[in-house]
Structure 1
Amino acid sequence: MINFTRFFAVVKARNLEFFRDKSSLGWNLFFPVLLLAGFSLVFSGEGKPAYQVGVINLEQVESPFIQTRYIDFINYDVLEQAKTKLEQHKIDLAIDFSQQTYWLNENSPSSYLVEKIFLGEHNNFTREVTQGRQIRYVDWVLPGILGMNMMFSCLFGVGYVIVRYRKNHVLKRLKATPLTALEFVSAQLVSRMFIVIFMSSVVYTGCNFMFDFYMLGSYFDLLVVGMLGAFSLLSMGLLVASRSKSEELIGGLLNLTSWPMMVLSGVWFSLESAPDFVKTLADFLPLTHIVTGARKIITEGASLADISYHLSVLGIMSTIFLLLGAYFFSWNTER
């Protein structure tokens, strides 16, 4: 049974410890902002090496237009998906040959040019117009950067701190108090959860004024993904630090845990064209489901029901990490 007086005392102490550490606070605030600013600068510009045209049931189409050089033709089975991509400027034209209808984005210069090329081959199609705002790379990479920042904050904020407490015999002293392991661990998780969500919200809000991020979904749904994802990463950090007594060892273990997630979780690039074994491996990493779920909410307007698979996996991972971390948790430096 948790004594909430002791529980909230530990939560308050941990929060004060974090916010009084100006260097750590500054790093959590400015590091993701600098990354976003850098990517916005590097990937700004409108240039494309080729036009892209979405075609409904491409494999069934026979048309000279399909042979046009310097145009990439992408197959879509569902018209609405192609229109969504067109609205987001990811393709320049959407064509349904069976209905003799094409759609263009009147806000896109590329749509205008591809339409002129298309009409040179087919001038009897019905013309439909749509509008939409372009998804920039900075909009696409935003969930990855916030997720990566959350990952480091969760893993090192719990794992490294617990090992430091253990090495400095703080845990040994706490063990002599009425504070139970459940109260201490729960307080650490709640404290870091509050810090991570608060800092992520501040960073997102501040950057939104500078970059005017694309957002189709619900901020509440995004918050749910963030909280569940943070809890999963916190539980993982607790598991990694449950027995370690060396700061050098825990640093290596946390890097070993975080770097595969940074590379394989779709933070910087899409995994759609990756080999199947890479996708399978990525599915075992919690950051993959955090980034994918948040990205679908932001760029596709997905609801919680649409990303229920990712939420379920995060919930299962959180339960496993938490149970194993609590089982192996040790107060003392002795193994």
Structure 2
Amino acid sequence: IRYVDWLIPGILAMNMMFSALFGIGYVIVRYRKNGVLKRLKATPLSALEFLTAQIASRLWLIMAITTFVFAGTNLFVDFAMFGSWLDLFIIFTLGTISMISLGLLIAARLSSEELAAGLLNLISWPMIFLSGVWFSLEGSPPVIQQLAQLLPLTHLIDGARAIMIDGANLIDIAPQLGILALMSTIFIAVGAASFRWE
């Protein structure tokens, strides 16, 4: 397998992570700072409904961007896809939801754009190096491998690589799907419970 073939799933997942975290987390904080959320508070809209709507709206935008990035990349490297496009769509969708949910959780109570940017960077950059975007973690110390399992990006990349390179199906990546679903549920629940309109 070429290194570029191994790298592409990680690059796509990294692009999704940045788009999700900064595209939603930073925006929510700006909404709060500008008083948009305060006005929405006067409506019957609940925090959970608002967060769910944000996830849905951002999801399709990120998936569209990822599709264009992959199509453009494929023009130059001629990537060979071995798995199902539907399976890849499912793992990408679930992975994106988990990333958006994490961004919403981070922004649930913040009102400072500077603090939000700092926290988002603090979370995103370690994820890049600990999730296997650029290199495999197989030879790394056990503590690093265990820490990587706590990151949604790790499971998104593992699932995407299994489908795109190894031709795996949804049953093969059931652990990754389950973990991403669990993380998404926890992030959304905690984010909705701690959400501050003002």
Q: How high is the TM-score relative to the length of structure 2?
A: 0.97
Matched, 1:236 2:105: no
What do the CA deviations read for 1:86-122 (whole angstroms, capped 9, x no partner)?
Answer: xxxxxxxxxxxxxxxxxxxxxxxxxxxxxxxxxxxxx
Q: In the aligned structure 1, how far is the partner of 2:45 from the partner of 2:195?
A: 15
Instruction: Please give the alpha-carbon distance, in whole angstroms, between the structure 2 residues aligned to 1:182 and 1:310.
Output: 25
Q: Counterpart of 2:115?
A: 249
Residue equivalent to 1:274: 140
- Equivalent residue of 2:132, what SS? coil
| Matching of residue 294 in structure 1 with residue 166 in structure 2 | no
Tell me, in whole angstroms, the C-alpha distance in 2 between the residues paired with 1:322 and 1:179: 16
What secondary structure, in the 3-state scheme, does the structure 2 residue paired with 1:243 have? Answer: coil
Distance 2:166 2:78 in 1: 17
> After the TM superposition, which residues 47-196 of structure 1 pair with which residues of structure 2 at under 5 Å, given as runs?
135-196=1-62
Cα deviation, residue 276, structure 1:
1.0
Corresponding residue for residue 200 of structure 1:
66
**Aligned residue type for 2:23:** G
- Among 285, 290, 304, the alignment partner of 2:170 is 304
Q: Tell me how far 1:187 sits from its aligned partner.
A: 1.3
User: What is the TM-score normalised by the length of structure 1?
Assistant: 0.58
Residue 298 of structure 1 deviates from its aligned partner by 1.1
- Distance in 2 between residues matched to 1:289 and 1:178, nearest whole Å: 36
**2 CA distance for matches of 1:182 and 1:318?**
13
Partner of 2:131: 265
| Higher relative contact order (CA closer than 8 Å, sequence separation 6+) | 2
Q: Tell me if 1:223 matches 2:89.
A: yes
Q: Which residue of 2 aligns with 1:212?
A: 78
Deviant stretches of 4+, over 6 Å: none
Q: CA deviation at 1:181?
A: 2.4
Structure with more helix by fraction:
2
Q: In the alignment, is the contact (CA less than 8 A) between 2:91 and 2:156 conserved in 1? A: yes
Separation (CA, whole Å) in 2 of partners of 1:151 and 1:273: 25
Contact 2:51–2:188 (8 Å) recurs in 1: no
Aligned CA-pair RMSD: 1.0
Q: In 2, distance between residues paired with 1:307 and 1:176?
A: 43
Secondary structure, aligned partner of 1:214: coil
CA distance in 2, matches of 1:172, 1:309: 40
1:299, distance to aligned residue in structure 2 (A): 1.1
| Alignment partners' CA distance in 1, 2:168 and 2:33 | 45
Q: Provide the rounded CA distance (Å) in 1 between the counterparts of 2:49 and 2:158.
A: 33
Q: Tell me how far apart the structure 2 counterparts of residues 271 and 148 of structure 1 sit (CA, whole Å).
A: 16
Give distance in 2, aligned partners of 1:218 and 1:252.
Answer: 38
Alpha-carbon offset, residue 238 of structure 1: 0.7
Residue 259 of structure 1: how far off its partner (Å): 1.1
State the 1:205 CA deviation: 1.8
- Shift of residue 232, structure 1, vs aligned partner: 0.5
> Aligned partners of 2:197, 2:174: CA distance in 1, in Å?
37
Taking the aligned partners of 2:50 and 2:169, their CA distance within structure 1 comes to: 35
When Rg is computed on C-alpha atoms for both structures, the one with the higher figure is: 1
For 2:101 and 2:91, locate their aligned partners in 1 and report how far apart those are by CA, in whole Å: 15
Q: 2:83, 2:164 within 8 Å by CA — same for their partners in 1? A: yes
2:185 is the counterpart of 1:319: yes
